Amino acid sequence: MNDIIEYIFKRLLAGILVIFAVTALLFAIMQLMPGDAIELVSSPRVPAEKIEELRALWGLDKPVLVQYFYWLSRIIQGDFGTSIVSGQKVLLLIKERLPYTLMLTGGALIIQYIIAIPLGLIAAYKKDSVLDRSIVAFTIGFWSIPPFWLGILLMIIFGVWLKVLPISGFSGIKSIILPLMTMALPGLAGVLRLTRSEVLEVLRERYVETAYAKGMKRNSVLIKHVLRNALIPVTVMFFLNLPWTIGGSVVIETVFAWPGVGPLLWKSISSQDFPVVQGIIFIIAILTVISNILGDIFSSFLDPRVRQELKGEIV
Amino acid sequence: MKYLSILKDMIKNKTFMVGLFIFISVLILAVFADKIAPYSYDLINVQEKLLSPNEQYRFGTDQYGRDVMSRVIYGSRITLKVGLIVVAIETLIGVSLGLLAGYYGGYLEKFILFVTDLTWSLPPIIMALAIVTMLGPSLNNVIIAIAVVSWAQFTRIVRVKTQSIKSLSYIEAARAFGENDVGIMTRYILPNILSSIIVLSTLALPTAILSTTSLGFLGLGSQPPDPDWGLILKEGIAYMNQAPWISIFPGLAIVYTVLGFNLLGEGLRDIMDPRLKA
């Protein structure tokens, strides 16, 4: 047990270190950008002394390192500043939109796992059957479709041709269907493939043979022995996938003009609204680090073999 | 003899052959684009704008009356070029760091692993967006951004392989003969992990293409009038009602190309390095 606690502690420490590095990176990125915030918001007619005054007010006249600690202490308190474009508080802007993004990513992940796990199990159990082959073909196919194009295709089919679903924006429950399908399908292929290959691996284990030899029924072997063991990496992948899904949602949300964080990030990048860009990327980084740590912790709890390894050297 | 048996395996492997066929067809399209495409990619003809696919314009025309088919054909040049450059850069960075980490170990390894973890601390597309924000939108910057965020998988695998090879006795022998570290890494270790690297690079290609077209779609890569497939799709969205063909054909081209590279990579992996699976 102590090993696990020590491991979690080390992971947390590493996570905090990574978040610090991300803040440094974000700050560096914004420092390297051409022009500063003042030049962006003020017109050339603003007198020079007024600009200097604003610079001092925003702390832009201080040395870079001082500015960084300034900025860091503010974002730790949750103050990401105000948007250069709209003048609104960045935290408020993100708070308004984050639920929509989480709704989409959460929903997509749930759909993926509900569909992919049983299908993966069946495909592996009936390896090389027609069903298995078509499932494998489906996964390779979906891996090759750019998610944003899948979104466009669904919009054309259901919105333009069949006219049954709204194609963009958010206007009630019907608008979530297309973005959700677009988000779920490509990831589903990945989970399906992983489940299949893990189940295949477990099916080769000796203890499965033993279970059959003991006279256990096929279904209970499949669920109690095979699925239980095969699901360990699949569960871990859930956490590792979460950030990827959020990353992917940036593009997909933009396709559907979904009121989430994605279009905000995209618009802010185009208009160089860097407080907003910093805020969004910082929050995504924290979500990523947390879900990576959760993935590691889960795998150490679920899999006694990993617990064994923990007693050795941890890098 | 070894190469002959690999060649035989290749011909027997259907996945690989289909992938190879697709790859060669895209390559031909890219190299001879100016001979194959019926029109130039930027030939504007306002009188014939938004025409649906017909005898003259097989894929229809776009909002400026440009031939969508010609644009898709010329676009294969951009896609192939960008994909290959991105993968070349990430292979170079990833393999060198993996060799160094695996060979020297110690603090250097810890540091390289930390940087690797760092690139995984953000979803790649987000990291790439951040880098493009810094460098400004252009195709070259997209290439840099995607390469910078995706080398880590090479490092991870090359490091582990290097570690397991470096303790073998023939490395000892090489050292005894006075071979220096660089020589051991490049002449003794690298050739032994080359097949894994080839497989990894091929498998990285479709991902690189999907990422760059995504950024192109967001308008952060190629700029108009370049026939970048992602960019055409972005411009097509506004005409989805009147002219869905603008949004359909470049997407099909991406799927065809990426599918080809996926099959090629999977086939190569099964032939050359089955243990890389999963």
Give the sign of the dihedral formed by CA A190, CA B247, CA B86, CA A263: negative
Identify the residue with better confidence: A270 or A30.
Answer: A270
Distance CA B214, CA B191 (A): 35
Identify the residue with better confidence: B88 or A175.
Answer: B88
Predicted confidence at residue A313, as pLDDT, reads 43
Question: What confidence category does residue B251 fall into, taking pLDDT thresholds of 50, 70 and 90?
Answer: very high
Q: How far is CA B35 from CA B39, B254, B274, in A?
A: 9, 21, 40
Distance CA A116, CA A187 (A): 9
- Asked if the structure places residue A234 within a domain, the reply is no
- Asked if the structure places residue A262 within a domain, the reply is no
The answer to whether residues A217 and A151 belong to one domain is: yes
pLDDT reading at A315 higher than 50:
no
The answer to whether residues A212 and A297 belong to one domain is: no
Q: Which of B43, B108, B32 minimizes the C-alpha distance to B76? A: B32
Instruction: Count CA within 13 A, CB hemisphere, residue A107.
Output: 16
The answer to whether residues A107 and A221 belong to one domain is: yes
Residue with tokens 């760091």: B97
pLDDT digits (tens, 9 = 90+) for A267-307: 988 887 888 888 898 888 888 888 888 887 777 777 666 55
Question: What confidence category does residue A314 fall into, taking pLDDT thresholds of 50, 70 and 90?
Answer: very low
Beta carbons of A247 and B131 less than 8 Å apart: no
* Of the residues A228, A263, A292, the one at which a domain ends: A228
Question: What confidence category does residue B260 fall into, taking pLDDT thresholds of 50, 70 and 90?
Answer: very high
Q: What are phi and psi of A252, to 5 degrees?
A: -65, -40
Name which of B124, B217, B251 is nearest A247 (Cβ-Cβ).
B124
The SS3 call for residue A294 is: helix
pLDDT reading at A2 higher than 80:
no
Exposure b/e, B108-122, CB count within 10 A at least 16 = b: ebeebbeebbbbbbb
The answer to whether residues A65 and A108 belong to one domain is: no
pLDDT digits (tens, 9 = 90+) for A40-58: 566 666 777 777 777 777 6
Interval B30-53 mean pLDDT: 87
Beta carbons of B121 and A197 less than 8 Å apart: no
Predicted confidence at residue B254, as pLDDT, reads 96
Percent of chain B clearing pLDDT 70 (strictly above): 98
Percent of chain A clearing pLDDT 70 (strictly above): 90
CB B125 within 8 A of CB B207: no
- Kindly report the CATH number assigned to the domain that includes residue B144: 1.10.3720.10
Q: How far is CA A38 from CA A29, A43, A46, A253, A275, in A?
A: 17, 9, 10, 30, 12
The answer to whether residues A173 and A277 belong to one domain is: no
Name which of A140, A148, A288 is nearest B122 (Cβ-Cβ).
A288
Using N-to-C axis directions, what is the helix angle for B244-272 and B2-12, rounded to 10°? 140
Q: What is the mean pLDDT of chain B?
A: 89
Q: For chain B, how many residues are written?
A: 278
* Of the residues A228, A258, A292, the one at which a domain ends: A228
Residue A82 pairs in a beta bridge with A89
The answer to whether residues A206 and A107 belong to one domain is: yes
Residue A89 pairs in a beta bridge with A82
Find the domain containing A77 and state its range.
1-85+271-315
pLDDT reading at A152 higher than 80:
yes
Residue of B134, B148, B247 to mutate when probing chain A, most A C-beta within 10 A: B134
pLDDT digits (tens, 9 = 90+) for A59-90: 677 787 888 888 888 888 888 888 888 888 99
Interval B71-85 mean pLDDT: 95
Counting the structural domains of chain A, the total is 2
Residue of B nearest to A315 (CA): B110
Distance CA A181, CA A204 (A): 34
Name which of B126, B244, B278 is nearest A156 (Cβ-Cβ).
B244
pLDDT reading at B109 higher than 90:
yes
The answer to whether residues A209 and A111 belong to one domain is: yes
- Asked if the structure places residue A68 within a domain, the reply is yes
The answer to whether residues A107 and A151 belong to one domain is: yes
Instruction: Count CA within 13 A, CB hemisphere, residue B232.
Output: 35
Find the domain containing B32 and state its range.
2-277
Predicted confidence at residue A58, as pLDDT, reads 66
- Asked if the structure places residue A55 within a domain, the reply is yes
- Asked if the structure places residue A150 within a domain, the reply is yes
At A306, which amino acid appears?
Answer: V
Q: In chain B, which ranges are continuous DSSP H helix?
A: 2-12, 14-31, 33-36, 68-104, 106-119, 124-135, 139-150, 152-166, 169-176, 181-183, 190-217, 229-236, 244-272
pLDDT digits (tens, 9 = 90+) for B138-177: 999 999 999 998 999 899 899 999 998 888 888 888 888 8
Beta carbons of B233 and A149 less than 8 Å apart: yes
- Asked if the structure places residue A242 within a domain, the reply is no
Predicted confidence at residue A36, as pLDDT, reads 59
At B261, which amino acid appears?
Answer: F
DSSP string, B68-109: HHHHHHHHHHHHHHHHHHHHHHHHHHHHHHHHHHHHH-HHHH
Interval A212-229 mean pLDDT: 82
Ranking A135-139, B88-92, B101-105, B227-231 by mean pLDDT, the lowest is A135-139
Predicted confidence at residue A308, as pLDDT, reads 56
Residue B209 sits at the vertex; the CA angle it makes with B204 and B212, to the nearest 5 degrees, is: 120
What ipTM score was computed for the predicted complex, to two decimals?
Answer: 0.88
Distance CA A155, CA B148 (A): 33
Residues 64-123 on A with a CB inside 8 Å of B are: none
Residue B67 pairs in a beta bridge with B61
- Asked if the structure places residue A203 within a domain, the reply is yes
The answer to whether residues A72 and A127 belong to one domain is: no
Ranking A26-40, A87-101, B80-94, B104-118 by mean pLDDT, the lowest is A26-40
* Of the residues A228, A255, A289, the one at which a domain ends: A228
Using N-to-C axis directions, what is the helix angle for B68-104 and B244-272, rounded to 10°? 30
- Residue A29 C-alpha, separation from nearest chain B C-alpha, in angstroms: 5
Predicted confidence at residue A156, as pLDDT, reads 92
Predicted confidence at residue A168, as pLDDT, reads 73
Counting the structural domains of chain B, the total is 1
Question: What confidence category does residue A170 fall into, taking pLDDT thresholds of 50, 70 and 90?
Answer: confident
- Asked if the structure places residue A42 within a domain, the reply is yes
